[in-house]
Amino acid sequence: MGDNFQNKTMAPVMMDYEFKIKTQNERSKVEDLFDFEGCKVGRGTYGHVYKGRRKDGSDTKDYALKQIEGTGLSMSACREIALLRELKHPNVINLIRVFLSHTDRKVWLLFDYAEHDLWHIIKFHRAAKANKKSVMVPKGMVKSLLYQILDGIHYLHSNWVLHRDLKPANILVMGEGPERGRVKIADMGFARLFNAPLKPLADLDPVVVTFWYRAPELLLGARHYTKAIDIWAIGCIFAELLTSEPIFHCRQEDIKTSNPYHHDQLDRIFNVMGFPLEKDWEDIRKMPEHATLVKDFKRSNYQNCSLSKYMDRHKIKPDSKAFSLLQRLLLMDPNRRITSEQAMQDPYFSEDPLPTQDVFAGCPIPYPKREFLTDDDQDDKSDSKARQNQQQQPNDRRQNEQTMRLMTQQNQVQANSHDHAANNAKRMRMSGPNQGNNNQGGGQQEFHQQQQMMYGQQQSANQQQQNFQQRF
Amino acid sequence: MAGNFWQSSHHQQWMLDKQDLIRDRQHDLSKLTDEEYQKIFNFFASIIQVLGEQLKLRQQVIATATVYFKRFYARNSLKCIDPLLLAPTCVFLASKVEEFGVISNSRLITTCQTVIKNKFSYAYGQQEFPYRTNHILECEFYLLENLDCCLIVYQPYRPLLLFVQDIGQDDQLSTYAWRVVNDSLRTDVSLLYPPYQIAIGALHIACVMLGKENLKPWFAELNVDMDKIQEIVRAIINLYEMWKNYDEKKEIQALLGKMPKPSPAPQR
Ligand SMILES: Nc1ncnc2c1ncn2[C@@H]1O[C@H](COP(=O)(O)OP(=O)(O)OP(=O)(O)O)[C@@H](O)[C@H]1O
Ligand SMILES: [Mg+2]
């Protein structure tokens, strides 16, 4: 008699008791290893991110702990884990470990902690612009940022991984420490293998990329994600770094539909870029929403629009190398858009100042540290106060010569009027385990920073040389 | 993740050593012979295959599920988790990783029930598929832990297609070799050899089956360790030999009866 299941109604023992106990004992719990209570620093659609430290003090580094939204292994959690487990590149966020909490069925991902991200950095510059203040950053910072973003994306693309959700909030930058000023591309939850699409990808998650960074072909109903779509988003981020304004900023109220076609967003793109000529984008006629496009838009409304005029208004000269690269990244026709590899070969990167591995090139980092979030704080005032306390304005003259204003003050747009919707979580400062390490204010820190600056400049010269050697 | 097998977790963590594999199976091999052990795996690989087909998964996804299954039992005894539960759990996890789209919990369970009832009654008789969603979800966490979160599995299919292209498109050859690759999932080769070598081994067998002498120079020019290819070929041929005198429908009930099973918590 088979002792498989003796009884039709009673489930057999699914798991061996000894095995279960043994695995339970070997399993470590995230809350046993890390202190992170009250230290939430990020909230996204797919999770909550905490800043944590090891409890046993075996190192004093900061870590980021991402608790994935919901319970169990969603498909995006699976993909994030599967991909990050394989990916290893200095400009791609490093997944250190996964914790599975069996009792509440929560999934936790442990990453290196990145103190900054481009969303906060750009927001800081925009606020400074509104207050007619300048922010001192190294001349080559935007170039270094872009170079490292391209490097990371080139790695992903050559491994047949698409990011698909590139936007400033997902580009992290490391703070003080051994990887100071290094870009880390994050939030691969939507990254997919794309070498053999199984289903038209648009079917799986109808609305994915934030519309401002969405390539025109997606807005016209393209069925498949491509490398070119990531490149468009990088072009948008580059423009935003140069001007501190989201280049294709568009009202967000309407962005709820699962229909890829989005009239206002296309209108915004044409207002900046001009309406595409047939000869510039031959296949536009093959786009699923081409008929709608023809019906809704009149070329003559965009007669006077061009990227060069837009950028010129933002003080980026059409004959600059930066502009010429931007134009190649933001080509409307996805087939003509350059690849990450081509972009990295662009003359912009061999022109002085050369990109540095530390995007801050050893200079003091003017941006505040991440603040802790609360769920119930409804009052945004605490936000701006905390920020004011943390702003450090370097005002040394010599420093001025070494640095350049990222922001031009002439172009005052109503700063802060268009914060990215996904990231306006309420913030306030709270004490946490890392409190002692936060801004202490006072002269000591400034002194410390001065030293760092001197050292930093030497270092950056070395680094540039290194860069040079590496690339030629 | 095409293109960097050599840096992958598959290559770095899951190319197992034959001796280790044999050692880790000691517990099971004290209760089962080598052949019985292989027959049991063969059976559960069939369950995974049929489940995958019913769920309309691509062969790539089915193959990944099968490799998860094999990896789990490469490190654990069959008694740790009932393979009848682990098999659908592997399918569920693989379908998420390979982005097939989410299979709903209820569809998975219903499919298990119908498949066990309609296709495997020779093994389970009138017994119904005994597990529910909560079992699968709990099992999934254990599976992920035991896989050490290594979810991307490289399969021989893609290198196979590239080799066939290189040879000069031959539909008959590629169909045969593809099937041999499917069969190879019933052996240990996916735990022991890189997928491109398995693809070459499968091509080799297909050539022999089709009597394609003219491809000898092509094989000779390949820069691979032919001893490894021979080992793969032997493992697959052994499987075919075993199948010749094996009637699963008659023997499987007894084998499942002999299989080491999970022990419940001690009663107090
Ligand atoms: N490694 C890290 N170090 C520090 N902060 C981080 C880290 N990873 C994420 N964050 C912060 O948490 C936020 C949310 O993280 P992430 O983008 O990974 O989650 P998400 O839910 O997928 O977001 P999204 O809504 O953009 O899809 C980020 O925008 C960032 O501010
Ligand atoms: Mg994000």
Domains, chain A, ordered by start: 30-112 (3.30.200.20), 116-472 (1.10.510.10)
Say which DSSP state B60 is in: H
Which chain A residues touch B253 with a CB distance below 8 Å?
2
Of A278, A267, A272, the closest CA to residue A312 belongs to: A272
Whether the pLDDT of residue A418 is over 60: the answer is no
pLDDT at A2: 42
Return d(Cα A446, Cα A366) in angstroms, integer: 12
Residue of B nearest to A7 (CA): B127
Whether the pLDDT of residue A195 is over 80: the answer is no
Return d(Cα B112, Cα B115) in angstroms, integer: 5
Residue B196 near residue B231, CB atoms below 8 Å = no
Tens digit of each residue's pLDDT (9 = 90 or more) over B65-114? 999 999 999 999 999 999 999 999 999 999 999 866 778 999 999 999 99
Which amino acids of A are annotated as binding site for ATP, given as ranges? 66
Alpha-carbon distances of B112 from B48, B70, B165, rounded to whole Å = 10, 19, 38
Using DSSP, state whether B180 is helix, strand or coil: helix
Residue A170 near residue A266, CB atoms below 8 Å = no
Residue A22, number of CB atoms within 10 A of its CB: 12
Backbone angle region of A441, left / alpha / beta, with phi > 0 → left and psi within -120 to 50 → alpha: left
Output the pTM of the full model: 0.83
Mean pLDDT score of chain A: 78
Tens digit of each residue's pLDDT (9 = 90 or more) over A432-458? 333 333 333 332 222 222 222 323 333
Pairing of strands A63-68, A403-405: unpaired
Which residues between 99 and 128 in chain B have a beta carbon less than 8 angstroms from any beta carbon of chain A?
99-102, 124-128
Distance in Å, CA A113 to ligand 1 centroid: 10
Residue B231 near residue B49, CB atoms below 8 Å = no
Task: Kindly state if the Cβ of A111 falls inside 6 Å of ligand 1.
Answer: yes
Show the tokens assigned to A401. Answer: 């010569």
- Interchain pair A19, B1: CB under 8 A: no
- Interchain pair A159, B263: CB under 8 A: no
Whether the pLDDT of residue A387 is over 80: the answer is no
What is the length of chain A? Answer: 472
Whether the pLDDT of residue A66 is over 60: the answer is yes
Known catalytic membership, residue A283: no
pLDDT at B18: 95
Backbone phi, psi, residue B247, to 5°: -115, 95
pLDDT at A191: 53
Task: Kindly state if the Cβ of A191 falls inside 6 Å of ligand 1.
Answer: no
Q: Specify which residues B219 forms β-bridges with.
A: none
Return d(Cα A374, Cα A52) in angstroms, integer: 16
Using DSSP, state whether A159 is helix, strand or coil: coil
Region A284-311: mean pLDDT is 97
Return d(Cα A307, Cα A248) in angstroms, integer: 11
Model ipTM? 0.94
Task: Kindly state if the Cβ of A34 falls inside 6 Å of ligand 1.
Answer: no
**Chain A touched by B152 (CB under 8 Å):** yes
Q: Which residue in the set B58, B141, B144 is minimally distant from A198, CB to CB?
A: B58
pLDDT at A420: 42
Tokens 């597990």 belong to which residue? B131
Round the CA-based radius of gyration of chain A to a whole number and report it: 24
A340: closest CA of chain B, how far (Å): 17
Whether the pLDDT of residue B133 is over 80: the answer is yes
Distance in Å, CA A166 to ligand 1 centroid: 12
Distance in Å, CA A161 to ligand 2 centroid: 17
Question: Which residues have CB under 8 Å from B196's CB, separation 6+?
Answer: B5, B156, B159, B224
Residue A330 near residue A273, CB atoms below 8 Å = yes
Tens digit of each residue's pLDDT (9 = 90 or more) over A357-386? 999 999 999 999 999 998 654 333 333 333
